[in-house]
A and B are shown apart, each in its own frame.
Chain A
Amino acid sequence: MNFFNSIGVLITNEKYMGMLFEGLGTTLLISVFAALLGLVLGTLVAIVGISGDSPIMKLPKLICKLYVTIIRGTPMALQLFIMAYTIFAIRGFPKEITAIIAFGINSGAYVSENIRAGILSVDIGQTEAGRALGLNGKTTMVKIVIPQAIKNVIPAIGNELIALIKETSIVSMIGMYDLTQAAKVIGAGNNMASYVVPMSVAACFYLAIVYLLTFAIKKIEGKLRAGDKR
């Protein structure tokens, strides 16, 4: 039986497709909520990072710096293990939440650097003009700087989201049933006894998600760039 025949067998098999879709659900669930958590965390950390050098901000700044350094400096798999088997090593604690928190925290560290760069890329004159009109620092940041920063960071954030979606494929290491795990089970000896075919189909699923995401990001970017010439 050649490769294409096997693909045909797989995608017409209700049981196998059901398994893949179940895995896809988990992958999407973790990705979406981890991405949201990462964006919120990343934005907070970025804002702390660029805030002024007042004494009250010293400790938060140090914490944020440590966070980014440690998370970016250690393997994701290890962070996931620590989260699952040390921090949330509670019987019956939902694994989905463990994974969302682990990936969200990981993503936040990368996102914060992207957002920080984005905020710094906005001309200081924009902030000065806002402040000179009597707006306070927060309003200026929210109404003027961040909207322009977002536009600049969207490509980088898009990259991060894409990486995140694919990185969730390691959740089987803590015994979760995601898209990759589904493909592995289908490929095991008591099923199709070949990994190549289910893995290829799963790859197509990932490709489709990433393609849709890329499309959505392009749309959003185009909308945000309404005020630009380029």
Chain B
Amino acid sequence: MISVKNIIKTFEDGVTVLKGVDCEIKKGEVVAIIGPSGSGKSTLLRCMNLLCVPTYGEVWLKDSLLTPVDPYLHTEVIEASNTYKKLIAEGMDGSEAIKKIKAEDLLKEKFSSAEGKAYKAEIKKIYNESHIDINLARQRMGMVFQHFNLFNNLTVMENLTLAPTQLKLKTNEEAEQIAMTLLKRIGLEDKADVYPSTLSGGQKQRIAIVRALAMNPDIMLFDEPTSALDPEMVGEVLDLMKQLAGEGMTMVIVTHEMGFAREVADKIIFIDEGIIKEQGTPAEIFGNPKDARLKDFLSKVL
């Protein structure tokens, strides 16, 4: 469903938080991303729907490319470059030349040179074939935030219907019907006409989840959905997420709730220092961790 390919993210202040991350989220899979704070796990999640734009690398949603084309990820693009042709002419082996170009970042100046016509054409071809508008892609990816981010100027009902109606996916009546069904599902139908400021944290987060569901997404991204909640409200949010997982929703969850990750996730990704240090099933990660940093991390949080 989502493929993240060699994502590198450097912020404006020069700090590199992701240093080459590859991962694949399959349809119906529930993936938990864990790791110490500052490890880049939220950044990785935010890169998946481009709230955070990766510096290098590509993000794919099914067959659609969300980011610009990263030339290093496409052999045919490298092979079309002048650098590659030069290396081959010097007698270098093809795969070795590609390796050298990737390792030494030799394609950099090619973007501005006039000679790289074939190279540019290859990039354009991939782009035209696969790239989709980010707003269209985001309609298919729900996102839930740590701080809920319900629209404060709108009622609960309006929060749920704003996107479907503004994007002309639903009429007002359809959207309201769907919203009501979703609110009934979480037992908050009586809150339809109140403003978010009157709700508890748990209620806000559950409404934030159904707001994303109102768009009928293919995948849901959760960015530490329970971290800002009072302890007694964590349960209600996790229960709703469990229900979703049970219904086969594809989910990516950045979380500190190890018990929840162990119980619900199909796959766990452990990120530290900007790279994926280990990934596997909950049994492998919690039962038999191999990476030293993971062992250390688990000993602190469990």
Contact = CB atoms under 8 A, between A and B. Distances in A.
B198 interface: yes
A121 to B, nearest CB: 12
A228 interface: yes
Contacts of A135: 135, 162-163, 166-167
Residue from A129, A139, A147 with most neighbouring chain B CB atoms (10 Å): A129
Contacts of B166: 135, 139, 143
Contacts of A134: 135-139, 163, 167, 215
Contacts of B212: 132-133
A134 B215 CA distance: 9
Interface string A41-80: 0000000000000000000000000000000000000000
A126 B143 CA distance: 13
A125 interface: yes
B286 interface: no
Interface string B151-170: 11111000000110011000
A186 B42 CA distance: 71
A132 B215 CA distance: 11
A133 B147 contact: no
A221 to B, nearest CB: 13
Contacts of A200: none
Contacts of B141: 132
A218 to B, nearest CB: 19
Given A133-B138, A134-B163, A135-B163, A227 B147 contact: no
B153 A147 contact: yes
A226 interface: yes
B161 to A, nearest CB: 11
Nearest to A125: B149
30 contacts: A123-B149, A125-B145, A126-B149, A128-B145, A129-B145, A129-B150, A130-B151, A130-B163, A132-B49, A132-B138, A132-B212, A133-B138, A133-B142, A133-B162, A133-B211, A133-B215, A134-B135, A134-B136, A134-B137, A134-B139, A134-B163, A134-B167, A135-B135, A135-B167, A139-B166, A143-B162, A148-B152, A151-B153, A226-B195, A228-B152
A15 interface: no
Interface in B171-208: 195-198, 208
Nearest to A229: B197
Interface string A186-230: 000000000000000000000000000000000000000011110
Interface of A: 123, 125-126, 128-136, 139, 143-144, 147-148, 151, 226-229
Interface string B204-232: 00001001100100000000000000000
A229 B197 CA distance: 6
Contacts of B135: 131, 134-136
B253 to A, nearest CB: 15
Nearest to B208: A129
Contacts of B92: none
Contact of B153 (A129, A132, A133, A227): A227
B283 interface: no
A144 B153 contact: yes
In this complex, which of A123, A131, A132, A147 has the most chain B Cβ atoms within 10 angstroms of its Cβ?
Answer: A132
B51 interface: yes
Given A129-B149, A132-B145, A229-B197, 14 more contacts: A123-B149, A126-B149, A126-B151, A130-B163, A132-B143, A133-B211, A134-B138, A134-B163, A134-B215, A143-B166, A144-B153, A151-B153, A227-B153, A227-B155
A128 B163 contact: no
Nearest to B137: A134
Contacts of A226: 195
